[in-house]
């Protein structure tokens, strides 16, 4: 018999011998195995659906869960009075410097000087009020002085290329010295009654919160303005560009140095405003303790909110959520009776966890 040299007829739908097998397609023997198609499908689902959702809404979800848990533990947590007090505490501490810190971090920098610069603002305001210069001057001059300190950091960082953490650490030390020089007598007690009630004067009422303190009103205005600035202005887009890829931004002709200087000026300006409100609320100015560790709190709220420490990703809304998360946590710690040292340890763990989570999400 002659050997049959004709090509074998293929059955309908059969794959030609030289056609590659598509992953997960018909004929792939590993398509349904957990080590191949199944794992790839799960990774694809996480990357394309869950990861973007977590990056956008994860911090808000964490805030909602935390508020619910805290309200269960403490039934008085969601009362009108307590909400107003918690918001006032947040706005009179690190809320404003958190805005400036967020702008700096979005460019890939960091500002360790904001707490000490806040002390410069508080001491300047106290001395000015006690010497009869009036409320307008007590707000304007400290903010201007603090903006100059922030601008100094920005210029050195932009023009010399020295790491921001080194420059702002040096400015932090120097700013404490400036605050001590201004308040030469140490702790300064403010005598003007109108000034010391300014930050806590209530207006309203509005739904849920009821009466709203001036400090909360000013903070809300600053956050809205900063959010608009980042989202709707050319300078705001430049900030994201610098943090995302500084070299490419320079090659595109964007004035990177000006952007860096701008964010540090804003950071100093807002630290000055925070210092004036801090002095108003406390009716004193302490060059040694005002703003102590606030730089760490501001970094914590930015990171916990989901803004990347590498720059280029995040925003003011995320920073606000991060600050509210920390505020609720501190309230929970107080309700639980935790001592200050335990709260500091917990705060460190939270920040470390947020940074680790950022790195984990970024590697997926």
* Domain CATH for 277: 1.10.3470
Q: Is residue 38 part of a domain?
A: no
Residue 232 included in any domain: yes
* In a domain? residue 52: no
pLDDT digits (tens, 9 = 90+) for 237-282: 999 999 999 999 999 999 999 999 999 999 999 999 999 999 999 9
At 275-333, the pLDDT tens digits run 999 999 999 999 999 999 899 899 999 999 989 888 998 899 999 999 999 999 888 88
**Number of structural domains found in the chain:** 1
pLDDT at residue 170, rounded to an integer: 97
The per-residue pLDDT for 207 is 77
pLDDT value of position 37: 54
| 4 domain-assigned | no
Looking only at the bridges linking them, the beta strands covering 284-285 and 188-189 are antiparallel
Domain residues for the domain of 98 are: 61-363
pLDDT at 18 over 50: no
pLDDT of residue 106: 97
Residue 31 lies in a domain: no
Q: Which letter, b or e, does each residue of 112-127 get, where b requires 16 or more Cβ atoms within 10 Å of its Cβ?
A: bbbbbbbbbbbbbbbb
Task: Give the CB-side neighbour count of residue 158, counting CA atoms within 13 A.
Answer: 21
Measured in whole angstroms, the distance separating CA 128 from the mean position of its chain's CA atoms is 31
Residue 96 lies in a domain: yes
Whole-prediction pTM: 0.83
Residue 104 lies in a domain: yes
Does residue 5 fall inside a structural domain? no
Contact criterion met (CB below 8 Å) for 275 and 122: yes
User: At 20, is the pLDDT very low, low, confident or very high (cuts 50, 70, 90)?
Assistant: very low
The region of weakest confidence among 48-62, 198-212, 214-228 is 48-62
Task: Provide the mean pLDDT of the chain.
Answer: 85
272 versus 62: the higher-pLDDT residue is 272
- Residue 263 is predicted with a pLDDT of 97
């Amino acid at each position: 018999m002659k050997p049959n040299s004709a090509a074998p007829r293929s059955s309908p739908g059969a794959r030609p011998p030289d056609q590659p097998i598509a992953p997960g397609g018909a004929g792939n023997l590993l398509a349904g195995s957990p080590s191949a198609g199944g794992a790839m499908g799960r990774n694809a689902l996480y990357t394309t659906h869950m990861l973007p959702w977590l990056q956008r809404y994860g911090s808000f979800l964490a805030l909602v869960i935390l508020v619910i848990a805290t309200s269960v533990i403490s039934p008085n947590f969601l009362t009108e009075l307590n909400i107003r007090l918690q918001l006032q505490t947040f706005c009179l501490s690190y809320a404003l410097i958190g805005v400036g810190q967020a702008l700096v971090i979005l460019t890939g920098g960091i500002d360790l000087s904001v707490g000490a610069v806040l002390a410069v603002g508080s001491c300047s305001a106290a001395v000015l009020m006690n010497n009869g210069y009036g409320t307008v001057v007590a707000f304007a001059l400290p903010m201007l002085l603090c903006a100059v300190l922030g601008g100094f950091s920005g210029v050195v960082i932009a023009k010399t290329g020295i790491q921001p953490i080194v420059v702002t650490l040096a400015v932090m030390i120097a700013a404490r010295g400036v605050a001590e020089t201004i308040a030469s007598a140490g702790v300064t007690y403010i005598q003007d009654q109108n000034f010391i009630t300014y930050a806590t004067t209530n207006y309203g009422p509005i739904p849920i919160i009821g009466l709203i303190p001036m400090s909360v009103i000013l903070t809300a205005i600053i956050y809205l303005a900063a959010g608009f600035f980042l989202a709707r202005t050319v300078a705001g887009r430049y900030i994201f560009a610098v943090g995302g890829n500084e070299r490419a931004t320079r090659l595109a002709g964007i004035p990177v140095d000006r952007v860096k200087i701008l964010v540090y000026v804003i950071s100093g300006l807002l630290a000055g405003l925070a210092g004036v409100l801090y002095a108003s609320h406390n009716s004193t100015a302490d060059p040694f303790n005002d703003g102590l560790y606030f730089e760490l709190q501001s970094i914590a709220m930015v990171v916990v909110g989901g803004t990347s420490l590498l720059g280029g990703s995040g925003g003011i809304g995320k920073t606000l959520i991060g600050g509210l998360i920390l505020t609720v946590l501190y309230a929970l710690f107080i309700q639980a009776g935790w001592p200050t040292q335990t709260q500091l340890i917990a705060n460190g763990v939270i920040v470390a966890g947020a940074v680790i989570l950022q790195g984990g999400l970024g590697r997926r």
